[in-house]
């Protein structure tokens, strides 16, 4: 299976403060990857590097066999979509307007959206279940509703790679499951690649093919869920006691926590 991303000794720093150190990994096409780790360990910065928003201090990132830095932003936006952790918009755009923004990489300057752009927008809203409030203004929505709109915008972008930065943090469990079911379908049936920063270890274990544990800007452990979702690794990364088991109802490995002593 060919690699979609290859990182070789990549580091990043904010001024003098090191955030990521010597990242070295290869991510294959057509898999659902989870990135987990404590707050402040560099997960969001890692995604920023993958989408080209930030440049490495050292090392190199290749995307589809080419240096990531060699891509024009418009060309990269046709291949990689990001669902950010925070989404703020001050103008009174409708839901449909915002989802249609995902089509901008395909629309020439000063041109109007084509029929295909409208159809991709419609399909994305329907997939996330927001077509019934297409005419509402985004700045009047709840946090969870806005987050669903941003996910739909990324789907409308119709890229082979989807990056999620805590994309379901504002959602209840029903909508969280619906979104992850949809993106897993895209991985399984269409060969898309999903790279998701996640805090919920049980969701990561249920949906991801592989998980990378990060701590203090480094990849501590990575690999298939069955190999790396282990109590000793979680203890090393998060400093908490857990027990790992296979749950017959969810049909996935699940993590139990010691909530009190």
Residue-range domains of the chain with CATH = 30-52+73-231 (3.40.50.300)
pTM above 0.85, yes or no: yes
Contact 139, 91 (CB under 8 A): yes
Q: In sequence order, what are the residues at sequence separation of 6 or more whose Cβ sits closer than 8 angstroms to the Cβ of residue 163?
A: 47, 50, 51, 80, 81, 82, 83, 194, 195, 196
pLDDT digits (tens, 9 = 90+) for 57-108: 999 999 999 999 999 999 999 999 999 987 777 788 999 999 999 999 999 9
Question: In the structure, what pLDDT confidence band is assigned to residue 167 with cuts at 50, 70 and 90?
Answer: confident
CB atoms within 10 A of CB 12: 21
pLDDT of residue 137 exceeding 80, the answer is: yes
């Amino acid at each position: 299976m060919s690699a979609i991303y290859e990182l070789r000794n990549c580091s990043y720093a904010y001024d003098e403060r090191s955030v990521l150190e010597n990242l070295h990994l290869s991510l294959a096409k057509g898999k659902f990857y989870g990135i987990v780790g404590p707050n402040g360990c560099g997960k969001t910065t890692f995604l920023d590097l993958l989408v080209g928003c930030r440049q490495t201090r050292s090392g190199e990132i290749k995307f589809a066999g080419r240096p990531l830095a060699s891509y024009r932003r418009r060309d990269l936006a046709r291949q990689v979509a990001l669902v950010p952790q925070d989404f703020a918009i001050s103008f009174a755009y409708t839901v449909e307007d915002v989802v249609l923004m995902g089509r901008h990489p395909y629309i020439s300057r000063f041109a109007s959206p084509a029929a295909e752009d409208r159809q991709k927008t419609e399909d994305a809203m329907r997939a996330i279940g927001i077509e019934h409030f297409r005419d509402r203004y985004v700045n009047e929505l709840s946090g969870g509703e806005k987050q669903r709109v941003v996910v739909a915008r990324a789907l409308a972008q119709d890229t082979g790679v989807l990056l999620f930065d805590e994309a379901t943090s504002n959602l209840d469990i029903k909508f969280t499951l619906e979104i992850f079911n949809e993106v897993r379908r895209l991985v399984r049936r269409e060969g898309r690649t999903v790279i998701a920063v996640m805090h919920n270890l049980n969701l990561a274990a249920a949906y991801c093919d592989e998980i990378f544990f990060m701590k203090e800007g480094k990849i501590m452990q990575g690999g298939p869920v069955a190999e790396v979702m282990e109590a000793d690794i979680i203890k090393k990364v998060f400093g908490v006691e857990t027990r790992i088991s296979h749950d017959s109802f969810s049909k996935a490995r699940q993590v139990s926590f010691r909530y009190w002593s």
